[in-house]
Amino acid sequence: MSLSPEQRQELIRLLEAGEDISPEWARVLFPPEKREYELVYHGKDPEGDIISDTLAVPLQPVRTFGRNGENWHNMLIFGDNLQVMKTLLEMKKAGRLCNADGTPGVRLIYIDPPFATKQDFRGTEDQKAYQDKLKGAVFIEFLRKRLILLRELLADDGTIYVHMDFRKAHYIKVILDELFWGFEFAEVMWLCGLMGSGKFFPKAHETIFCYKSTKGNFNPPPRLGYSERITGALQKDKDGWFYTRGRESSGGSNYLKTYICNNPRLSKEEAIREATKNRPQTAWSVWIGKEDLAHKFNDYPVGTYAYTEHEKVGYPTQKPEPLLERIINASSEKGDIVLDAFPGSGTTMAVAEKLRRRWIGIDCGKLAIYTIQKRMLNLRREIGNKGPKLDPKPFSLYNAGLYDFSKLKELPWQDWRFFALQLFQCRDEQHKIGGIEFDGYRKGASVMVFKHMEAKHKDARITEDTIQEIHEAVGSRVGNRVFIIAPALTFDFQQDYIDFDKVRYYALRIPYSIIHELHRREFTALKQPSDEMAVNDTVEAVGFDFIRTPELKYRTGTEKAKGELFEYGFIKIETFKSDAVVREPFKKKGNLETLSMVMLDFDYDERAKVFDLDEVHYASDIEKDGWKVRFLKDRISKKMMAVFLDIYGNEARVLIDAAEFGKGTGKDAPKKNRKKK
């Protein structure tokens, strides 16, 4: 350590004054070893802890679209990706996450995570504040944790692409180098269109970091064909062969002929096609002009991300399909698993489907999940979403971390048992102690999943006497902790645990009552955004919860304000209250503070029962409108489904008849007071 006299004095002053020592001192006090460098920041956890501390959450199937055909189902998962990836990792270890060629693990990962914290968007007002840097470190660690799990999920010959922009790309590059050591690296500058306020240099590109395992495959983009300049100038000789004429490439002054194909019977178009096909160089090693190459690979029209009208689904930060087409074609084959752990509008899923890959998408936003569901059910065959309709291969929608207890109750015993063991992180391993059957282990202690469905246990309750009976049979041979899992109503006592001699019997209730003593971290909710800016926020949910339908009262009506051309329908929200176990402090705004957004499907199909998202209204806008959700009356056909989402991911759904908005009656709608059905 080489402190200057001034530094020494400053340090002594800080210590004596009892002031905080800022992290900048770390490098001075503990200089890194000379041969290594790494990104050091507050809160960087050891890799091993990240993997072992992450809770694997069971996947609860919600619905399967399409017929169950093969042994693989594409997966769309609602949940925090960190916890879900831990579950997928267990599937990989169990051989249940395989590419079509049998290789375990994911062949290609593309992620486009939120680029930055809200602070980064706030401009100069407090850019230098330490608080911001701290938020930055939280963001980096948020992503690093996920990158560690992603690396574990990757097949031995896999490739990962990480999409970033200037705000955090440089930090994340250093982290990626730490994590993907030994991989081949390429940096892709994606020209995404000019963006900016006009007050400073615009943003013109985003960065995609690509790390390919040395065993991995890479399919270079095929050659692009002749430029228009060349095809326009093609000539035919007397024998019917097409050729170009150009100066010697050595710079000499002779004009030379270059024949493009040796079949004189072909038309010009056929000859061009043949010539392109038979010369398998990569796109960047060919003779076409740089300008053509740039047009093919850069999506550079001015404006946000340059996706076309056909593919636009109205989700902020949506990326264009041709970008994902290049990535998926370059680093995977048909039947390979493509994973996007931040899919947003589902561009990766849509393109993976078109290119016949297997896919998994995990998003913690309900808006994203409904957007992807709709997108997958309305796919067109061509990239850019044009051409004939494409029916997707079957895919299943899962909940992970927020469960529907009513569906759980209906599970057959074996499925219930499996879910219960997974929920509480137990190893499935049946064993007997003192004649009593146990189902597995949780951190070394025996676990019993109470057979509440068995006829002999029907309506049975777990009382203190039941526990005592178990204790008398197993005695101290069972160790000092035992876990009993059962539906909450089965337990006849309120305590989290009961002690007999030196053995503690824990009651693990479903739906869950959080026993803080058992968890290293507080549970937090799958937070949903209440304004459009927040759609791109990082979300970190820990643990799990059960769906609790919010209380909803509303009234419907129609109105046409002065000077307005069209008549609007509206839903005025009068009461909206949520009751989630895991919650964070929030600002109170009457009874409506837990509303996140209202999503509308104007022509709900009651037979198919698929919510087909048409419009989203964020709580921040609804509040500005006096808690009214307003929409063009003419958009409704017979029935409208409205989904009221709370900030914890719970939904209150209502099906509203078009007649309530005066449709089909010829009259104006009567104002009605309603409660959730």
Q: Is 114 in the site for ligand SAM (CB under 6 A)?
A: yes
Per-residue buried b or exposed e for 201-231, using 16+ beta carbons within 10 Å of the residue's own CB: eeeebbbbbbbbbeebbeeeeebbbbbeebb
Q: Mark the segment that binds ligand SAM (CB under 6 A) among 3-11, 60-68, 262-270, 357-365.
A: 357-365
Taking CB under 6 A as the rule, does residue 317 contact ligand SAM? yes
Nearest-approach distance from CB 154 to ligand SAM, in angstroms: 18
Nearer to ligand SAM, 341 or 508 (CB): 341
Residues 545-564, mask of contacts with ligand SAM (x by CB under 6 A):
--------------------
For helices 81-93 and 130-153, what crossing angle results, to 10°? 20
Residues 178, 149, 133: CA angle, nearest 5 degrees: 55
CB of 67 to ligand SAM, least distance (A): 28
Q: Cβ 110 to ligand SAM, closest distance in Å?
A: 8
CB of 348 to ligand SAM, least distance (A): 7
Task: List Cβ neighbours of 307 (8 Å cut-off, separation of 6 or more).
Answer: 318, 319, 320, 321
CA distances for 370 relative to 343, 373, 445, 473, 665, angstroms: 12, 5, 41, 51, 31
Our finding on whether 373 is near ligand SAM (CB under 6 A) is: no
Q: CB-wise, 315 or 661, nearer to ligand SAM?
A: 315
CB-nearer residue toward ligand SAM: 324 or 467: 324
CB of 530 to ligand SAM, least distance (A): 13
CA–CA separation, 404 and 548 (whole Å): 8
Q: How far apart are CA 396 and CA 402, in angstroms?
A: 16
Of 58, 63, 59, give the one whose Cα is nearest residue 373: 63
- Which is nearer to ligand SAM, 97 or 498 (by Cβ)? 97
Find the shortest distance in angstroms from Cβ 145 to ligand SAM.
Answer: 10
CB 600 within 8 A of CB 617: yes
Within 528-638, strands assigned E span 545-546, 551-559, 568-577, 595-601, 615-618, 628-632
Identify any residues that bridge with 340 across adjacent strands, giving them in sequence order.
361
Angle at 248 between CA 247 and CA 250, to 5 degrees: 135
Nearer to ligand SAM, 344 or 392 (CB): 344
CB of 620 to ligand SAM, least distance (A): 17
Q: State the binding string over 47-86 for ligand SAM (x if CB under 6 A, else -).
A: ---------------------------------xx-----
Nearer to ligand SAM among residue 363 and residue 439 (C-beta): 363
Token pair for 243: 């050729």
Which member of 59, 137, 352, 364 binds ligand SAM (CB under 6 A)? 364
Closer residue to ligand SAM in complex, CB, 361/557: 361
311 binds ligand SAM (CB under 6 A): no
DSSP 94-119: TT-SB-TTS-BSEEEEEE----S-GG
Q: Which of 292, 325, 363, 623 binds ligand SAM (CB under 6 A)?
A: 363
- The answer to whether 603 touches 637, Cβ cutoff 8 Å, is yes
Please report how close the Cβ of residue 349 comes to ligand SAM at its closest, in angstroms. 9
Q: Which residues pair with 542 in a beta bridge?
A: 524
Read off φ and ψ for residue 485, nearest 5 degrees.
-105, 135
The H-assigned helical ranges of 195-304 are 228-232, 268-277, 290-297
The yes or no reply on residue 193 touching ligand SAM (CB under 6 A) is no
**Which is closer to ligand SAM, CB of 159 or CB of 318?**
318
How far is Cα 343 from Cα 563, in angstroms, rounded to an integer?
41
| CA nearest neighbour of 628 among 643, 613, 617 | 617
342 binds ligand SAM (CB under 6 A): yes
Among 297, 315, 506, 554, interactor with ligand SAM by CB under 6 A: 315
Number of residues that bind ligand SAM (CB under 6 A): 23
536 is a contact residue toward ligand SAM (CB under 6 A): yes
7 or 317: CB nearest ligand SAM: 317
Q: Shortest gap between Cβ of 398 and ligand SAM (angstroms)? A: 13
Nearer to ligand SAM, 542 or 573 (CB): 542
For the bound state, the minimum distance from the C-beta of residue 360 to ligand SAM, rounded and expressed in Å, comes to 12
Q: Which two tokens stand for residue 314?
A: 């109205």
Q: Quote the DSSP letter at residue 591.
A: B
- Please report how close the Cβ of residue 203 comes to ligand SAM at its closest, in angstroms: 15
Does residue 318 belong to the site contacting ligand SAM (CB under 6 A)?
Answer: yes
Measured in degrees and rounded to the nearest 5, phi and psi for residue 557 equal 180, 180
Chain residues in the site for ligand SAM (CB under 6 A):
80-81, 112-114, 315, 317-319, 342-345, 347, 362-365, 368, 536, 538-540
